[in-house]
């Protein structure tokens, strides 16, 4: 596989009734999207997907709640990665008044890309129906494909059809074979777990991050694209053991309300900058790809998002200070690619 089927889209809306955004809107948007997607995709109107004879061909579980295989050559799966990631607006609770425009991103992976028209319809229905405290509403203005080569509009309601566009990123780039120094700037909380608990900054290891990234990319490729990416996990594990790091990381807590469990949940994670040094050549495609896929737990809410910073050859705290202002500006515009 030379190119990985993945694309990031920016959905731009115009507020009609005031929308109250929580501090972190990823969970709220995911819930609204899932509800609307099921309404527009489900043909049987059954209360549950389990037992439905149409599950195998229905786009709702394929996009939002994929069914794990009954058997697998390597392990048993209770769940598999979802082929989409919602990237909410920048953090901060606020009220969006009527007339204000706002945007968020959604990453689509593999076969979910084929369902972009249905996904657009689901978002239109979700925001027209009402989201957030007070059921604020909004109208879709346009959808933009955010590509490394530049942004391009692919949908506008008055036009009606989705424009043809390339929806894949190259896996290899010049210089991959020489990569030995890279810095990840964590934009949303990273939750790498051990025994069901998210690891704090002082317990994180480069190997944990790199192998989690490899597993996620490999499973998404296997279940939602054209097949596994990785042939030799043992070689990757050996290389990861020899990677060293410098870090400027801290713990950030955020809360969300679970409508399914009827309670408030805390889902903290690690933010900051993490510099890796060592034999990174075999991880170069995965590190770049992770900027779309995210890494760790709760990626479907937008957690585990990072961007790669150039290797600066300096103390990491200096690098973080120099990049902080630019990163904040990008987040405010919500157009980090």
Q: Residues 144, 336, 207, 284: is their CA dihedral positive or negative?
A: positive
Tens-digit pLDDT profile for residues 82-127: 999 999 999 889 999 999 999 999 999 999 999 999 999 999 999 9
Counted residue by residue, the chain has a size of: 337
Residue 225: count other Cβ atoms within 10 Å of its Cβ.
21
User: What is the spatial distance between Cα 185 and Cα 21, in angstroms, rounded to a whole number?
Assistant: 25
Structure tokens at 197: 């608990």
Residue 52: count other Cβ atoms within 10 Å of its Cβ.
15
- Place 325 in a pLDDT band, splitting at 50, 70 and 90: very low
Residue 62 near residue 51 (C-beta atoms within 8 A):
no
Residue 202: count other Cβ atoms within 10 Å of its Cβ.
8
User: What is the spatial distance between Cα 292 and Cα 310, in angstroms, rounded to a whole number?
Assistant: 17
User: What is the spatial distance between Cα 222 and Cα 218, in angstroms, rounded to a whole number?
Assistant: 6
User: What is the spatial distance between Cα 118 and Cα 248, in angstroms, rounded to a whole number?
Assistant: 41
Residue 273 near residue 249 (C-beta atoms within 8 A):
yes
- Place 56 in a pLDDT band, splitting at 50, 70 and 90: confident
The stretch 170-193 carries a mean pLDDT of 94
The stretch 293-317 carries a mean pLDDT of 80
216 alpha carbon, distance to own chain's centre: 11
The stretch 223-241 carries a mean pLDDT of 92
- Domain coordinates of the chain in residue numbers? 3-169, 173-333
User: What is the spatial distance between Cα 239 and Cα 44, in angstroms, rounded to a whole number?
Assistant: 50
Structure tokens at 170: 């190259």
In the prediction, which pLDDT does 267 show? 79
pLDDT exceeds cutoff 60 at 322: no
**E-strand spans in 1-78?**
3-4, 6-17, 19-21
Residue 89 near residue 10 (C-beta atoms within 8 A):
no
pTM: 0.89
135-147 burial string, b = 16+ CB within 10 Å, else e?
Answer: ebbbebbbbbbbb
pLDDT exceeds cutoff 50 at 321: no
18-42 burial string, b = 16+ CB within 10 Å, else e?
Answer: bbbbbebbbbbbbbbbbbbbbeebb
User: What is the spatial distance between Cα 229 and Cα 322, in angstroms, rounded to a whole number?
Assistant: 35
User: What is the spatial distance between Cα 6 and Cα 109, in angstroms, rounded to a whole number?
Assistant: 4
Residue 145 near residue 167 (C-beta atoms within 8 A):
yes
Q: 173-333 in CATH: which number?
A: 3.30.70.1900
Residue 288 near residue 281 (C-beta atoms within 8 A):
no
């Amino acid at each position: 596989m030379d190119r990985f089927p993945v694309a990031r889209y920016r959905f731009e809306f115009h507020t009609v009734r005031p929308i109250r955004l929580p501090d972190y809107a990823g969970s709220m948007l995911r819930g609204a999207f899932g509800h609307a997607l099921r309404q527009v995709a489900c043909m049987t109107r059954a209360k549950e997907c389990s037992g439905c004879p149409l599950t195998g061909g229905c786009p709702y579980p394929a996009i939002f709640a994929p069914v794990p295989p009954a058997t697998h050559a390597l392990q048993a799966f209770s769940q598999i990665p979802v082929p989409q990631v919602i990237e909410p607006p920048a953090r901060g609770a606020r009220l969006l008044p009527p007339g204000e425009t706002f945007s968020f991103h959604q990453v689509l992976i593999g076969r979910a890309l084929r369902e972009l028209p249905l996904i657009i319809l689901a978002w239109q229905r979700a925001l027209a129906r009402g989201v957030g405290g007070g059921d604020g509403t909004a109208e879709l203005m346009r959808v933009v494909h955010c590509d490394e080569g530049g942004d391009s509009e692919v949908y506008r309601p008055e036009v009606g059809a989705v424009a043809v566009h390339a929806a894949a990123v190259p896996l290899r780039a010049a210089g991959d074979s020489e990569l030995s120094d890279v810095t990840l700037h964590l934009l949303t909380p990273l939750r790498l777990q051990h025994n069901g608990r998210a690891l704090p900054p002082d317990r994180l290891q480069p190997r944990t991050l790199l192998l989690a990234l490899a597993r996620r990319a490999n499973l998404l490729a296997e279940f939602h694209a054209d097949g596994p990416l990785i042939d030799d996990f043992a070689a990757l594990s050996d290389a990861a053991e020899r990677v060293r790091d410098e870090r400027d990381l801290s713990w950030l807590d955020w809360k969300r309300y679970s409508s399914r469990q009827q309670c408030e949940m805390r889902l903290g994670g690690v933010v900051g900058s993490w510099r890796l040094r060592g034999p990174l050549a075999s991880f170069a495609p995965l590190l770049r790809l992770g900027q779309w896929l995210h890494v760790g737990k709760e990626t479907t809410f937008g957690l585990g998002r990072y961007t790669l910073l150039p290797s600066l050859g300096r103390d990491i705290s200096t690098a973080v200070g120099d990049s902080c202002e630019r990163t904040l500006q990008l987040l405010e515009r919500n157009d980090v690619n």
